Chains A and B, each alone.
Chain A
Amino acid sequence: MDSNTIYTKEMFQKAPRELRESETIKRPSISYWSDVWRRLKLNKLAMAGLVILIILGIMSIIGPYMSDFSYYEQDYSAINLRPNKSYWFGTDELGRDLFSRVWLGTRYSLFIGIAAALIDFGIGVIYGGIAGMASKRVDAIMMRIAEVIYSIPYMLIVVLISVVFSSTGAGTSMFVLILAMTITGWVPMANLVRGQVLQLKESEYSMASESLGASKSWILKKHIIPNTLGPILVNVTLTIPRAIFSEATLSFMSLGLQAPRPSLGTLVSDGLAVMPIGLFYQILIPAIIISLVMFSFNVLGDGLRDALDPRLRK
């Protein structure tokens, strides 16, 4: 239609009275998390990380059963074999099957990482939530305590605790490793939760809920924590690789999981011992897997952070 068109009365129609119909939302509404997921899907690197993690997760569950050999069985007629038809990843210097050891090690490493992150999450949310909701005085005291704990170098305390427990003779158990990592590891999470709580406490919906007679714990549970889940999730995703990395470093100091139980860290440090005699494959495979795990969690965490950040929404 060009600008010269003359509009006549006949060209118009009366709008139907059913205004309500025009007000209804035809498209399904998108929830917060499906919106996040939609944006995360666009991030190829993060999706690659997710896919790798799923594959590694599945392999860590079924991998040890796929091999004909157990992770602890020693066969002195088959030591230091290179990868072949019956031993897919080869054997180590005690003749143990590296295929089942690598996947079991992946399982233990993932378990340690996830458990440490979940415990950090639990303590951090409770401590940070209480500090954020409490009076200023209590908050100040709680935060001073957290500040001191956080200034204690993470790795030093992890090493000390592992030394003490491994000296009891029982060796470093999974429980001790996780304890050592969470004893100072929860502080960043608590700080994060407290900051969010302080901010959200002043929001309109918290005030509305309070004026309707809701208790503090109700507001915390129903309004504040669900809204802080995003940043918390990012933090959890980035805590897991840190814990896995710490466990691997401990293995290097002979403070890792007790033999014959493998972890990715103990496998790498065992592999290092035989590398000078030319058996490079023994360190290569666990090194690649540990790097893949770290890579995947890191890119997934970054992707989640971008997907959750409302400032990046277009």
Chain B
Amino acid sequence: MSKYFVRRLAMSVVTLWVIVTITFILMHSVPGNPFANENKNIPEVVYQNLLKKYGLDKPLSEQYLIYLKNIVRWDFGESMKSNTETVNEMIARGFPVSAQLGLQALLIALIIGPALGAIAALYQNRFPDYISMIVSIIGVSVPSFVMGTFLIQFVARNVDWLPIGGWGEWRHTILPSFALALMPLAQIARLMRSSMLEVLGQDYIKTAKSKGISRTAVILKHAVRNAILPVVSILGTTVSNLLVGSFVIEKIFGVPGLGMFFVNSIYNRDYTLIMGVTVFYAIILISMLFIVDIAYTLIDPRIRLTKEGR
């Protein structure tokens, strides 16, 4: 186990390094530099000073080493477009907002999704199954930006209590959380349904029933517990879906989170911010994948890791 842990950790670090390097190469292969194509008439001295400030006057290899060193020290540098905030400060401001939204959405998806899937499997080909399948088909077919727009148009405009957008009170988070949660919720429900159907056909369910255990106990203790394992294994993907969804949802609902900063940094071509947020997202996602993988091997007794790793 500890060997697997170490190997998996090493893989994550390598992956992160690859991402940081790719990000660096891509952002520095943008033709010209961020100041050249803006104000053509800035004085030469100012231009040189700007280059110096962002370290762009040094050779590329040196810039790369400085960049790596800074990331290890958790320093993403200064924003190229904002004079008042560093990238670190922007992440510190935007991330809590995004995290709250993301966690609420994750919670919605993790409570409703498995329940919907389990109910569908228990009532296979009957009314509850159809309802839950319709919800999950809508969930995977309707992109989150369409869902967000429709929620604004049909719900927020008719319910005074729910605001169209903005941030501040808890009620501001309700609609964006649901819009964000729908796609992962649907994916989880579909996965849960098929895995539940498979589990319900297993012999140990029959054994449990024949021992006279109540229906509720069979479902909760024997069926759901086993059927939920595949859902755990896709949690990493779910988090990354939530993240991508947040780019769009935050923009539609005007939520001042990291996703909105990221989209705006792309509009403004704020390269240090793009790089910083990309690396930050990558760190979060890769740690999530790592945690999910380790958790999965811990909760599923069928996975016994052999000496050679896997």
Which residues from chain A sit less than 8 Å from chain B, CB to CB?
144, 147-148, 151-157, 159-161, 163-164, 167-169, 245, 248-249, 252-255, 268-269, 272, 275, 280, 283, 287, 290-292, 294-295, 298-299
A-B contact pairs, 23 of them (CB 8 A): A151-B15, A152-B15, A152-B22, A153-B19, A155-B243, A156-B282, A159-B266, A159-B278, A160-B23, A163-B27, A163-B266, A168-B31, A249-B247, A252-B247, A252-B248, A255-B266, A268-B143, A275-B153, A280-B153, A283-B146, A290-B146, A291-B141, A294-B140
Known: A152-B19, A160-B22, A163-B266. A248 touches B140 (CB 8 A): no
Most buried by B among A147, A148, A151: A151
Determine if B52 is an interface residue (Cβ-Cβ < 8 Å).
no
Contact of B149 among A245, A249, A255, A287 (CB under 8 A): A287
Determine if B206 is an interface residue (Cβ-Cβ < 8 Å).
no
Contact of B11 among A147, A161, A169, A268 (CB under 8 A): A147
Query: Nearest chain A CB to B290's CB is how many angstroms away?
Result: 9
Known: A160-B26, A291-B143. A254 touches B15 (CB 8 A): no
Majority-rule SS of A interface residues: helix
The reply to whether A295 and B248 form a contact with Cβ atoms under 8 Å apart is no
Alpha-carbon distance A148/B20, docked complex (angstroms): 13
Determine if B240 is an interface residue (Cβ-Cβ < 8 Å).
yes
Majority-rule SS of B interface residues: helix
Q: Which residues of B contact A245 (CB under 8 A)?
A: 143
Query: Nearest chain A CB to B261's CB is how many angstroms away?
Result: 12
Q: Which residues of B contact A167 (CB under 8 A)?
A: 30-31, 269
Query: Nearest chain A CB to B109's CB is how many angstroms away?
Result: 17
Which residues from chain B sit less than 8 Å from chain A, CB to CB?
11-12, 14-15, 18-19, 22-23, 26-27, 29-31, 137, 140-143, 145-146, 149-150, 152-153, 240, 243-244, 247-248, 251-252, 263, 266-267, 269, 274, 278, 281-282, 285-286, 289
Known: A167-B30, A167-B31, A268-B146. A155 touches B244 (CB 8 A): yes
Alpha-carbon distance A268/B150, docked complex (angstroms): 12
The reply to whether A148 and B282 form a contact with Cβ atoms under 8 Å apart is no
Alpha-carbon distance A272/B153, docked complex (angstroms): 11
Of chain A, the residue at the smallest CB distance from B245 is A249
Alpha-carbon distance A203/B113, docked complex (angstroms): 39
Most buried by A among B27, B143, B282: B143
Alpha-carbon distance A151/B149, docked complex (angstroms): 31
Alpha-carbon distance A160/B278, docked complex (angstroms): 8
The reply to whether B252 and A272 form a contact with Cβ atoms under 8 Å apart is yes
Q: Which residues of A contact B30 (CB under 8 A)?
A: 163-164, 167-168
The reply to whether B14 and A148 form a contact with Cβ atoms under 8 Å apart is yes
Known: A153-B285, A294-B140. A283 touches B278 (CB 8 A): no
The reply to whether A252 and B251 form a contact with Cβ atoms under 8 Å apart is yes
Of chain B, the residue at the smallest CB distance from A155 is B244
Query: Nearest chain B CB to A66's CB is how many angstroms away?
Result: 25
Contact of B247 among A161, A253, A283, A294 (CB under 8 A): A253
Of chain A, the residue at the smallest CB distance from B236 is A151
The reply to whether A298 and B240 form a contact with Cβ atoms under 8 Å apart is no
The reply to whether B286 and A151 form a contact with Cβ atoms under 8 Å apart is yes
Most buried by B among A153, A268, A290: A153
The reply to whether B266 and A254 form a contact with Cβ atoms under 8 Å apart is yes
Q: Which residues of B contact A252 (CB under 8 A)?
A: 145, 247-248, 251, 263
Of chain B, the residue at the smallest CB distance from A144 is B11
Query: Nearest chain B CB to A276's CB is how many angstroms away?
Result: 9
The reply to whether A253 and B146 form a contact with Cβ atoms under 8 Å apart is no
Query: Nearest chain A CB to B274's CB is how many angstroms away?
Result: 6
Contact of A151 among B12, B27, B243, B269 (CB under 8 A): B12
Q: Which residues of B contact A253 (CB under 8 A)?
A: 247, 263, 266-267
Alpha-carbon distance A169/B247, docked complex (angstroms): 24
Most buried by B among A154, A169, A245, A275: A245
Known: A160-B22, A283-B149. A249 touches B248 (CB 8 A): yes
Alpha-carbon distance A272/B26, docked complex (angstroms): 31
The reply to whether B27 and A164 form a contact with Cβ atoms under 8 Å apart is yes
Q: Which residues of A contact B149 (CB under 8 A)?
A: 268, 272, 275, 283, 287
The reply to whether B137 and A299 form a contact with Cβ atoms under 8 Å apart is yes
The reply to whether A163 and B274 form a contact with Cβ atoms under 8 Å apart is yes
Of chain A, the residue at the smallest CB distance from B144 is A249
Alpha-carbon distance A293/B19, docked complex (angstroms): 32
Alpha-carbon distance A291/B140, docked complex (angstroms): 9
The reply to whether B282 and A152 form a contact with Cβ atoms under 8 Å apart is yes
Q: Which residues of A contact B278 (CB under 8 A)?
A: 156, 159-160
Q: Which residues of A contact B26 (CB under 8 A)?
A: 160-161, 163-164
Nearest 10 CB-CB pairs, A to B? Answer: A295-B141, A151-B15, A294-B141, A287-B146, A155-B244, A167-B30, A291-B142, A160-B26, A291-B141, A153-B285
Q: Which residues of B contact A268 (CB under 8 A)?
A: 143, 145-146, 149
Alpha-carbon distance A221/B278, docked complex (angstroms): 41
Q: Which residues of B contact A280 (CB under 8 A)?
A: 153
Alpha-carbon distance A154/B278, docked complex (angstroms): 12
Q: Which residues of A contact B263 (CB under 8 A)?
A: 252-253
Q: Which residues of A contact B146 (CB under 8 A)?
A: 268, 283, 287, 290-291
Query: Nearest chain A CB to B14's CB is how many angstroms away?
Result: 6
Contact of B267 among A148, A254, A269 (CB under 8 A): A254
Query: Contacts A253-B263, A280-B153 given; 17 further ones with Cβ under 8 A?
Result: A148-B11, A153-B282, A156-B282, A160-B23, A163-B274, A167-B30, A167-B269, A248-B143, A249-B145, A249-B247, A252-B145, A252-B248, A268-B143, A275-B152, A291-B141, A294-B141, A298-B137
